[in-house]
Structure 1
Amino acid sequence: MTRTDHGNENREAPCAGLRIGDVAPDFAARSTTGDVRLSDHAGSWLILFSHPADFTPVCTTEFVELARQAGEFAARGCNLMALSVDSLFSHFAWLRLIRDRYDLEVRFPIVEDPTLVIGRAYGMVHPGDSDSATVRTTFFIDPEGVIRAMSCYPANVGRSIPEMLRTLDALQAVDAADALAPANWQPGENLLAPPPTDLDEIYAAKGDAGWFLRDAKTAKGNRA
């Protein structure tokens, strides 16, 4: 249980319903691209994210930037799917405004969730809330349908799209190399090797931290 800045006690933290490593709950719903089902994205990465409401300033800037960067996500084999409590026709009207104002078309699906069934299943909203205007959440779901990362932002702070891409790059890189991504890691930079569990290897390592703080390529070369 957490205490919010507004002084409300005994409120369940956003995202508390799911944890990293959980299988993402399946659902079917209407969206701006037709009927969608989460399990239809099996075999591909998926970023599922909620936004507080259509026709709001912060959400509009997020969707404009996501539309601009949609090709970057697609190039990484990752689909995008948005969700809010707004109706399907509210989504349509908002996307039309974005297109007319910014000359950008949002082509990834935006799911309607007027009954909060999906939002509550994902811990995007508190069970007692009547709308989702408190948080904007993001779930990174791998091709096996497993939640690999998640983030929660307040309604008055927009997400960083470059950080979403960096997180996706890091998840894909550590999977491919069976390695670890250090702080501030960027694509092309070195990864770290998982620490060994063999005592002889630990004793034989050079330096006081050489056994657990190792470059992944160097460690792999030493094992070859």
Structure 2
Amino acid sequence: MTLQIGSTAPDFEAETTEGRMRFHDWIGDSWCVLFSHPKDFTPVCTTELGYMAKIKPEFDRRNVKIIGFSVDPVGNHARWAEDIGETQGHKPNYPMIGDPELEISKLYGMLPASTSGTSDGRTPADNQTVRNVFVIGPDKKIKLILVYPMTTGRNFDEVLRVIDSLQLTAKHRVATPVNWKQGEDVIIAGSVSNDEAKQLYPEGWREPKPYIRIVPQPGS
């Protein structure tokens, strides 16, 4: 399956470190970040899981649920969590999905559908493509897909920044410019005519070019 922005995030049932769950039911009316790992007890992923635990309150504040994913069984996740807490100072405080049959990895296109066998005996290099970040909206549509190599730790501060943009632009007819951060000026969406823009922004806007209409962030 080829997943793209706008695709419905595939639903599934799975065992997690917090019990069995149905993914769409677990998301409910929240946003969600699903981030995957090629193998338990890998060094870069250990740092990522610890950092996500540290900044979980930032996701909570945005009504975003976070959930980790690794091809290994849930029992391995529990042992790994101890190492994460010991080395990173923060133990996972969110569920971790187990995928020993590789079904979800294939469902989300992170491993080829032709992949056979189970997670047992597979190395991190065998699963190196299981390094994705999916941001999923309350409508269960995929809003962002990031894919990272095994040797590069992910920037979850950037994921928070993108979520701020996604949530703002879902509510208001604007877009966010390069390197935008919460509270900075935004761009009136191209789908908004000037007549509509005058109703939305009666105080006007800055227009360095007719197609670039800059206004303060709505609600800021």
Q: CA deviation at 1:120?
A: 1.0
Instruction: Name which of 66, 86, 93 aligns with 1:80.
Output: 66
- 1:138-196 deviation line (CA, Å, top 9, x unaligned): 11000111101111011111110111111111111111222101111111111110125
Instruction: Name which of 94, 118, 137 aligns with 1:142.
Output: 137
TM-score, L = length of structure 2: 0.83
The corresponding residue for 1:105 is 91
Cα 1:195/1:107, change in 2 over 3 Å: same
Q: CA deviation at 1:126?
A: 2.6
Gaps of 5+ in 1: 1-15, 220-224
Instruction: Name which of 168, 182, 186 aligns with 2:163.
Output: 168
Instruction: Name which of 165, 185, 190 aligns with 2:180.
Output: 185
Measure, in 2, the Cα distance between the counterparts of 1:129 and 1:49. 20
Cα 1:146/1:208, change in 2 over 3 Å: same
Contact (CA 8 Å) 1:141, 1:149: kept in 2 or not? yes
Identity %: 37
Cα 1:110/1:192, change in 2 over 3 Å: same
Cα 1:60/1:215, change in 2 over 3 Å: same
Indicate the structure with greater strand content. Answer: 2
The corresponding residue for 1:213 is 212
Contact (CA 8 Å) 2:206, 2:213: kept in 1 or not? no
Cα 1:113/1:200, change in 2 over 3 Å: closer
For this pair of structures, how many residues does the alignment match?
201
The DSSP-based 3-state class of the residue aligned with 2:55 is helix
CA RMSD of aligned residues (A): 2.5
Gaps of 5+ in 2: 117-125, 197-204
Q: CA deviation at 1:218?
A: 9.5
Cα 1:170/1:196, change in 2 over 3 Å: closer
The corresponding residue for 2:34 is 48
